Chain A
Amino acid sequence: MSKEPVAVTGIGQTAHVAARRDVSLAGLVREAARRALDDAELTWADIDAVVIGKAPDFFEGVMMPELYLADALGAVGKPMLRVHTAGSVGGSTALVAANLVAARVHRTVLTLAFEKQSESNAMWGLSLPIPFQQPLLAGAGGFFAPHVRAYMRRTGAPDTIGSLVAYKDRRNALKNPYAHLHEEDLTLEKVQASPMLWDPIRYSETCPSSDGACAMILTDRAGAARAPHPAAWVHGGAMRSEPTLFAGKDFVSPQAGKDCAADVYRQAGITDPRRQIDAVEMYVPFSWYEPMWLENLGFAAEGEGWKLTEAGVTALDGDLPVNPSGGVLSTNPIGASGMLRFAEAALQVRGRAGAHQVDGARRALGHAYGGGSQFFAMWLVGTDAPAT
């Protein structure tokens, strides 16, 4: 028996900001879930199951928050699952929900991811003072910055590429009312003059810390037929993982990322991603990860990703727009960031992305990664229902 086609018929997100002091965690997730239900014109009673994700519990210090959030998400008396795969969790959460529909376990699933970073210790919650170990010397940016330097050395990319990405994504965010950073006055020169935090990563090339949530309604063919707005159809989805550290690990272009993309493309019948995919929402927490992932995801040959960025190919009006929403560089509620990529890809192919809509987008990739480049989750969504 073939899989049930999966449709995204509802998408909701909060207006992401540095601190949502006016709502509890429950109030925050409720807002996104309510907007997703409204988009799909459904009620709580129409939802068969809830799949929720967030980054480690120790960020906000609420252990197993899904238990407390069940009331807010109408999950009482229904199956509720929690997914956790570090920073990629928003993506893998959506995929677990999609698989429940594809397998005909449930017909309509609410999936949601969140983070309230203002009440969290994302910077140090993962850097615990483990006895007998050398204290971590650098924090998150310090973990990734040496890999950026390795990419520059390997490819000969000019050192301005990172600033081009940051400037582009922040300009795109001006068109997205939900984005956290709206830096009207930002110029490329200001990005390039911003202080080095973890050389070669500058302040303006790093993601902000945001409070926010994202929710989606995933449903079957019958659900899609009843939906008031066009659906996004899931054409492929995959997850891969690999150890954080192992002899032979390629930090610049991890094998798990390549394998994950290849699986998604095989499912979706994509043989030439650069030509066949119209928009990409990829997880770029530090600007240089755009060219790195362009190569890892097969949009450019090894060593060539930065040339797409430099040539403007990844701009909103380029022929492969990357992060039209403004991306993680403009909005980063960690647990939700992966789902925002997936949701923004779906908005693009539904034609509902508003001012940051990519004209004629019919196929879009959503991508998330997490941990020490060890978890990957991706989906490819399209305007047309997949051939069955």
Chain B
Amino acid sequence: MPDVPEVLTAPLVVEFPFTRSLGPVRSAFLTGLRERTVLGVRTGDGRVVVPPTEYDPVTAEELRELVEVGSGGTVTTWAWNPAPRRGQPLTTPFAWVLVRLDGADTALLHALDATGPDAVRTGMRVRVRWAAARTGAITDIACFVPDDGPAGEDLPAAHGGEFTDPVTLLTAPARLDYTYAPGRAQSRYLQELSAHRIVGERCPSCRKVYVPPRGACPTCGVATDTQVEVGPRGTVTTFCIVNIKARNLDIEVPYVYAHIALDGADLALHARIGGIPYDRVRMGLRVEPVWSGDGRFPDHYRPTGEPDADYDSYKELV
């Protein structure tokens, strides 16, 4: 059993601001919220769906008959949230509630600001607390609050869904927080890299040497546990010249992105070539790693000055 390396973990945050084209129905719904108006849509069987859908869940027909429902309603079910998380509607403990607004036949999911779970019950009356600044988003409803008033009358009411300056596009930031663990093989590899050694792993079945190692041979499906130091020198098997600046990457273009078969490895790894004008890089060029500062990986590879490798010597690795 090889030494168990230090188990590496690190946070991985994946975050993008996505956009959503709303289409006619959701555009009217969200613009309505901005104007303190809650809209639903009438389905083929006469029910009122809130929030409104574009297509009938029963008949699949297109739905466009918008109606206004009340800003008060009845809780149909709920769950207490004792520890709100980042991005949730309230920062203090609250109830997740399904609220059937007056005039609607379906319930809307939102937050209820209540003093505790004892203050919440199915069937209780609630009303919308509007956000002070409204932009045409579901958060224009800041939350619901308990309400003693009677149910709204004459609802639903016809509504054309027309507003000036309608919201048609929404930005929806999405963020996922992971803890990333690279696993045993890669941890060993990283440990060796810190001493500027490039160590791959050999498959016990096909004998191929994988760099970086993954802990298993993807062809044979068996664990690779024999470590093999490769390189540090290698051969450029193929490459491209990159003329587009990459996001979050501080490298001046143009630069050469190459596949490099390190001596003793059975597949190429990918790295940048430096120390030579970009337009003089060629297949077969012999290169070696250049380490800089406290970088975990070689900063780039540079020519060794050896004669180019013969094509036949690396063509199986292209």
Query: Is there an interface contact between A72 and B283, defined as CB atoms closer than 8 Å?
Result: no
Max chain B Cβ within 10 angstroms of own Cβ: one of A71, A124, A196: A71
Which stretch, A23-31, A95-103, A221-229, A294-302, touches the partner chain B? A23-31
Which residues of the other chain, A, contact B316 by a CB distance below 8 angstroms?
A: 248
Query: Is there an interface contact between A142 and B257, defined as CB atoms closer than 8 Å?
Result: yes
Query: Is there an interface contact between A71 and B53, defined as CB atoms closer than 8 Å?
Result: yes
Does B54 have its Cβ within 8 Å of any Cβ on chain A? Answer: yes
Which stretch, A144-152, A172-180, A270-278, touches the partner chain B? A144-152
Query: Is there an interface contact between B10 and A131, defined as CB atoms closer than 8 Å?
Result: yes
Does A130 have its Cβ within 8 Å of any Cβ on chain B? Answer: yes
Q: How many residues of B contact A (CB 8 A)?
A: 68
Does B297 have its Cβ within 8 Å of any Cβ on chain A? Answer: yes
Query: Is there an interface contact between B14 and A58, defined as CB atoms closer than 8 Å?
Result: yes
Does A184 have its Cβ within 8 Å of any Cβ on chain B? Answer: no
Task: Given A72-B54, A147-B238, A153-B283, answer yes or no on A246-B247 (Cβ-Cβ < 8 Å).
Answer: no
Task: Given A23-B23, A131-B180, A248-B316, answer yes or no on A146-B12 (Cβ-Cβ < 8 Å).
Answer: no
How many residue pairs bridge A and B at CB < 8 Å? 175
Query: Is there an interface contact between B54 and A27, defined as CB atoms closer than 8 Å?
Result: yes
Query: Is there an interface contact between A154 and B318, defined as CB atoms closer than 8 Å?
Result: yes
Instruction: Return B148 CB to nearest CB of chain A, in Å.
Output: 36
Task: Given A22-B23, A153-B283, answer yes or no on A44-B60 (Cβ-Cβ < 8 Å).
Answer: yes
Complex CA gap A332/B218 in Å reads 31
Query: Is there an interface contact between A135 and B249, defined as CB atoms closer than 8 Å?
Result: yes
Query: Is there an interface contact between B244 and A245, defined as CB atoms closer than 8 Å?
Result: no
Task: Given A137-B249, A149-B283, A198-B244, answer yes or no on A247-B219 (Cβ-Cβ < 8 Å).
Answer: yes
Q: Which of A73, A147, A196 contacts B243 (CB 8 A)?
A: A196
Which stretch, B68-76, B167-175, B302-310, touches the partner chain A? B167-175
Does B80 have its Cβ within 8 Å of any Cβ on chain A? Answer: no
Query: Is there an interface contact between B20 and A119, defined as CB atoms closer than 8 Å?
Result: yes
Which residues of the other chain, B, contact A141 by a CB distance below 8 angstroms?
A: 240, 244
Q: Which of A21, A70, A248 contacts B208 (CB 8 A)?
A: A248
Does B133 have its Cβ within 8 Å of any Cβ on chain A? Answer: no
Which stretch, B82-90, B91-99, B266-274, touches the partner chain A? B266-274
Q: Which of B182, B219, B266 contacts A132 (CB 8 A)?
A: B182
Interface string of B219-256 (1 = CB under 8 A from A): 10000000000000000011111111011110100100
Closest A-chain residue to B240, C-beta based? A145
Query: Is there an interface contact between B240 and A198, defined as CB atoms closer than 8 Å?
Result: yes
Closest B-chain residue to A34, C-beta based? B62
Interface residues of A in 287-320 (CB under 8 A from B): none
Query: Is there an interface contact between B21 and A21, defined as CB atoms closer than 8 Å?
Result: yes
Does B296 have its Cβ within 8 Å of any Cβ on chain A? Answer: yes
Does A74 have its Cβ within 8 Å of any Cβ on chain B? Answer: yes
Query: Is there an interface contact between A246 and B218, defined as CB atoms closer than 8 Å?
Result: yes
Does B65 have its Cβ within 8 Å of any Cβ on chain A? Answer: no
Which residues of the other chain, A, contact B259 by a CB distance below 8 angstroms?
A: 146
Complex CA gap A129/B180 in Å reads 11
Does B1 have its Cβ within 8 Å of any Cβ on chain A? Answer: no
Does B128 have its Cβ within 8 Å of any Cβ on chain A? Answer: no
Query: Is there an interface contact between A197 and B244, defined as CB atoms closer than 8 Å?
Result: yes
Max chain B Cβ within 10 angstroms of own Cβ: one of A60, A62, A73, A199: A199
Instruction: Return A129 CB to nearest CB of chain B, in Å.
Output: 7
Which residues of the other chain, B, contact A20 by a CB distance below 8 angstroms?
A: 21
Complex CA gap A245/B267 in Å reads 8
Which residues of the other chain, A, contact B218 by a CB distance below 8 angstroms?
A: 243, 245-246
Closest B-chain residue to A119, C-beta based? B19
Does B57 have its Cβ within 8 Å of any Cβ on chain A? Answer: yes
Complex CA gap A23/B56 in Å reads 17
Interface string of B21-36 (1 = CB under 8 A from A): 1110010000000000
Which residues of the other chain, B, contact A121 by a CB distance below 8 angstroms?
A: 16, 18
Query: Is there an interface contact between B60 and A74, defined as CB atoms closer than 8 Å?
Result: yes
Does A158 have its Cβ within 8 Å of any Cβ on chain B? Answer: no
Complex CA gap A128/B244 in Å reads 18
Does B149 have its Cβ within 8 Å of any Cβ on chain A? Answer: no
Query: Is there an interface contact between B16 and A128, defined as CB atoms closer than 8 Å?
Result: no
What are the 4 closest A-B residue pairs judged by CB atoms, nearest first?
Answer: A74-B60, A145-B240, A24-B23, A131-B10
Taking Cβ atoms with an 8 Å cutoff, the residues of B that contact A are 8, 10-14, 16, 18-23, 26, 53-60, 62, 168-169, 172, 174, 180, 182, 186, 190, 203, 206, 208-210, 217-219, 237-244, 246-249, 251, 254, 257-259, 266-267, 270-272, 283, 296-297, 311, 315-316, 318
Taking Cβ atoms with an 8 Å cutoff, the residues of A that contact B are 20-27, 30, 44, 58, 60-62, 70-74, 76, 116, 118-121, 123-125, 127-139, 141-142, 145-150, 153-154, 195-201, 243, 245-249, 251-252
